[in-house]
């Protein structure tokens, strides 16, 4: 009897999980080393921030945090952002 209840309960949980809405996804521009270019990837909202922290990636249409490469809405790279002068250079 216990096995039957356990199996039935497991089946209910699996069915609920299968019917649950998938996690929301967002697009990021990710540098693909094999292609040598930024490509659009789809990633969960929860993973996007952590992913960008660990890579030189960006939202489409923005600049990357590490290299400052400007990306367009399709993740094509433009010119790198100009370097900001340091306090010593500004004088």
CA distance 67 to 10: 49
The pLDDT tens digits of the residues spanning 37-49 come to: 889 999 998 888 8
Q: Which residues pair with 31 in a beta bridge?
A: 38
**Cα separations in angstroms, 50 against 12, 23, 27, 74:** 33, 16, 14, 21
Quote the pTM value. 0.59
The pLDDT tens digits of the residues spanning 59-75 come to: 999 998 888 999 999 99
Task: Please enumerate in sequence order all residues whose Cβ is within 8 A of that of 52, keeping only pairs 6 or more positions apart, or say none.
Answer: 28, 58, 65
């Amino acid at each position: 009897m216990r096995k039957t209840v356990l199996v039935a309960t497991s089946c209910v949980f699996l069915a609920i999980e299968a019917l649950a809405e998938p996690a929301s996804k967002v697009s990021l521009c990710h540098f693909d080393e094999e292609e040598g270019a930024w490509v659009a990837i789809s990633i969960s909202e929860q993973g996007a921030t952590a992913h960008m922290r660990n890579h030189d990636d960006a939202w489409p249409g923005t600049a990357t945090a590490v290299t400052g490469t400007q990306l367009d809405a399709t993740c094509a790279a433009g010119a790198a952002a100009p370097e900001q002068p340091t306090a010593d250079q500004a004088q």
